[in-house]
Structure formats: structure tokens, C-alpha cells
Chain A
Amino acid sequence: MITVHGLCKSFTARDGETVEALRDVDLEVAENEFLTVLGPSGCGKTTLLRALAGLVPWDDGDILVDGEPVRGPGPERSMVFQNFALLPWATVLENVAFGLRLRGVARAERAERARSLLATVGLAGCEAKLPGELSGGMQQRVGIARALAVRPRVLLMDEPFGAVDEQTRRLLQEELLALWEEHRLTVVFITHSMEEAVLLGDRVALMSARPGRIAEIVPVGLERPRSRDISGLARSGEYAEITTYLWERLREMHAEHRRDGVAS
């Protein structure tokens, strides 16, 4: 359903140096697939996601969603941000309804959809609170509810659980899997955690840095549904095997970089 072909993007850094963020990125994401993108920091994975969201232009290549070229943000895609990106002056309900409001959905319907999604993510009763009154985990639940409120078919997630503590992260992972199992969405999920990439993904797209490229696509054969017992999965032999392999590959990349004199 998502096809990325020959995607290239460079940009000029503040010091005037040209940075090649993405080189010839090819990627296929199937309908309802959960794809995780794993790579060292600075490998361009966030740039890739922002290109998928239609937020940044690129130099060469194509991105197609259902055969339609991406030229900007679209209603079938919605994004979840690492730093939550909630409006601090708006209530939780208004935040969840934000995308609907932009699209001109009537007030009553907005409120109803936002309310029911808040209940889904376990935040019933928090409608009138401001984001600043919530914990990080709760704020990201609001961010996820906001993304789901516009009924997207693709969820683009940019290290969504990177800014929350470990226990909260585990809870959020389980909740996200449950949501995904129920709603059937295509998910592209950026992470720098090998554990997260394997536990959540159907496949892991491993990226290398400078220039950012898809180094390898690693299928994860862990059984679904996984939302019930993530921690149990994390003790399985298959899980250990895949993460060990991913770590070997990542370590090679880091070593290569050191040889090339690139700081990593």
C-alpha cells in the first residue's frame, strides 16, 4: 500500500555542509502491516517518516500511497510525534478533536468521536484537563487518540515512546498493539530500540547512517496477537535470536562509521 522508490534527500546543515539524509531508499509496506524502522541516531529515519507524511520535500524518487503519489499531507495518513506535539492551551478533548476541527467536522460529532477515543486509550474523565496536567504517557495516549480520530489508514509514528519511562513504554506498546489488532491499520513505526522494533513489528527495516539507506529488511516471525503478553514474547528464543542478529548488524555499522571517521 505504501511504495517508496529511489528516495533521495540532502539538506544543508547550519554550518553550510551538505548532509545526505537519504540515498536511494526503497521500501514496500503492505496493507495493515506493522513495519518498524530501526537505525542509529542520525540515520535519516525521521526524515523518511516526515517525507511519508508529506511534510518535507525530497530531491529524487517517489512515494506512493495506494498508487497515488504523495505531494503533501493527506487525510489517509496521520502522525504521532515523539514530543507529543499537543497544544498546551487546549483541553485534552480539543486536542484529540484537533484534526477533525481542521476538517470541518461539526462540534457535536467531534466531541463524541474524541470522547470515545479517549475512553479507548483509557483517558475517560480527562477531557477537560490541559496537557500540562498529564504525565508523559498520558500525553502520548492523547497524541495517539488525536491521530486515530481522523480515521487514518496509515499511522506514522516517530519514536512515539522514546520520551516516556520504561514501564509506561511497555504499557503503551501493549495498548498500541491492541489498537492495531482491533483497528487494522498500516503502521510505520520509527524507533532506536531493537527490543521495541522486534516486539511490535511484522518486519524490521534496518537503516544505516550517512547516507541513510535501508540496509536490510528483517522479518519477525513472532506469533500474533502479541498484545496480551509482550513480556513473555521478550523471553522467547526467537525474540533473542532476532535481536542478537540486529545488534550484530548495528554493531557492524557503528564500526564501519568509526573506520570512515564519522562520529557515531
Chain B
Amino acid sequence: MATLVSLAGGAALWELAGRTADTSSLPPLSQVLGRLAEMTREGTLVGSVGDSLVNLALGLAISLVAGLAVGTAMGRGRRTEAALGVYVHALLTAPSLVFAPVFFSLLGAGRASIVAVVVMYAVFVVIVNTASAVRTVPPHLVEMARSYGASERQVLVRVVLPAAAPLIMAGVRLGVGRAVTGMVNGEMFIAVVGLGRLVTEAGGRFDSAGVLAVLLIVIAVALGALALVQAVDRVVTRWTPTTWKDAR
């Protein structure tokens, strides 16, 4: 409910700002939506969204699998942490787009390069969060499991991962947001396909309404992906107590 009110407020504000400013660089929401409908009719939009979603899905899947594996290894092993931590933190803070030319020359101007950019954007934040989530699992739970004869694999599957799940999911959420950014940037700077192409083209025509229309789609994609993550999150973290101040 609060979300809907907030969205309606934002939309109204945008419309108002667009009409008052009266410049072509900030078209009101109604005009952007009109442009969106037009693009859908032209048929370019649906195919582009499909292209982009495939890039996003592939990049995210790789990021999640690699991020969970590397993060867990770093969180469980001090030596792994020491060996990989410096690279992970360096790459986490490095502007991910600088790797675009590298992928371009290695993998060509195709899907592989874009997926690689998505991974560069998303994977490190998943690694870092997973590692600290795994590292901060209550030691007494691990000790309890060991006292019942749990193997390292059982400790991991039955105790560490479930206990770390809430923090891991927080990292996944950040990763999804960054993956969407990576997707658009990859599509704009490497192979001009998908939503990135639409943005580039609209920008080239000084079609502000078009740019904003694509932006709306990108946001919708991001929110859709996040909603998926949140659905998983709710199941995984049902047991965690909350401290909402208005929880009654």
C-alpha cells in the first residue's frame, strides 16, 4: 500500500515537473508513456527486451553460482580469503565498464561479451556478501553440528548456508541491481543490441521521451528481477526476527 502511494506521488511529481519545465529534455510522464506505446507498436521494443533479458539471465546465473561458490570458500577458509580477497575487493571497487574493451577483443562483439560485462558488474558484490555472511555464522552452531559428527559438507549444507542465507540474499539483491546496470552498459558500449541499442538510438535522435521510455522498461526489468529475489528471500529468511519499529 505504502509502495503504491509512493509510486503515484512520484508519477504526479514527474508529470508536474515536466509540464512546468517545458523543455524537450524533461518531457512529462504522459508523453513518455505515449512514446512507449508507440515503440511497442513499432515492434522493436519486444524483441529488444527479450534480447536484454537473455543477457541478464545468463549473466546473473553465472554471477550467482560463481559468487556463492567463491564467497563460501572465502568465508570458510582463512587462506582462500587471504589469497582471493585482494582481487575481489580490487575488482569490486574498479569501474566494471573498463573491462568492456578487454571482453570485446577477447570474446568479440556478441552475447558472450555482454554477459561477461554483466558478470563483472554483479559477481563481486555477491562474493563479498556471501563471504562475510558465511564468516559470521554463529560459531556455537557450527560447533554443535561438529559435536554430532557432522562432516565439513554437512556443516556447510545444514548449518552454514542456512544461517548465512539472510545476508547472502542481501548481496544477491545488490548483485541483481548491478547486473541490470551492467546489462544496459554492455549493450550500449559493446554490441549495440537490446535495450542498450534502443537507448543509444533514441539518444542519437535527441528523443528524450524515447530515452526515458526505455529507462522505464529497464527499471521495470530491474524491479521484476528484484521481486523474484524477494520472493526467494521471504522463503529463505522467514525465521529471522525483525525490528521494524511499526511491527505490530
On A, residues with C-beta under 8 Å from B are 53-55, 73-75, 78-79, 81, 83, 85, 87-90, 98-99, 101-103, 130, 132, 150
Contact = CB atoms under 8 A, between A and B. Distances in A.
B162 A85 contact: no
Dominant SS among interface residues on chain B: helix
B66 interface: no
Most buried by A among B145, B147, B158, B159: B147
Nearest to B154: A102
A99 B148 CA distance: 6
Contacts of B239: 88-89, 130, 132
Given A75-B149, A132-B239, A81 B144 contact: yes
Interface string B155-169: 000110011010000
Nearest to A88: B239
A101 B150 CA distance: 10
A85 B143 contact: yes
Contacts of B146: 55, 73
A73 B162 contact: no
Dominant SS among interface residues on chain A: loop
Given A78-B147, A102-B150, A89 B140 contact: no
B149 A103 contact: yes
B148 A83 contact: no
Contacts of B165: 89
A85 B163 contact: no
Give the 9 A-B residue pairs with the shortest CB-CB distance, closest first. Answer: A85-B144, A89-B239, A99-B148, A79-B147, A85-B140, A73-B149, A73-B147, A102-B150, A89-B162
B152 to A, nearest CB: 12
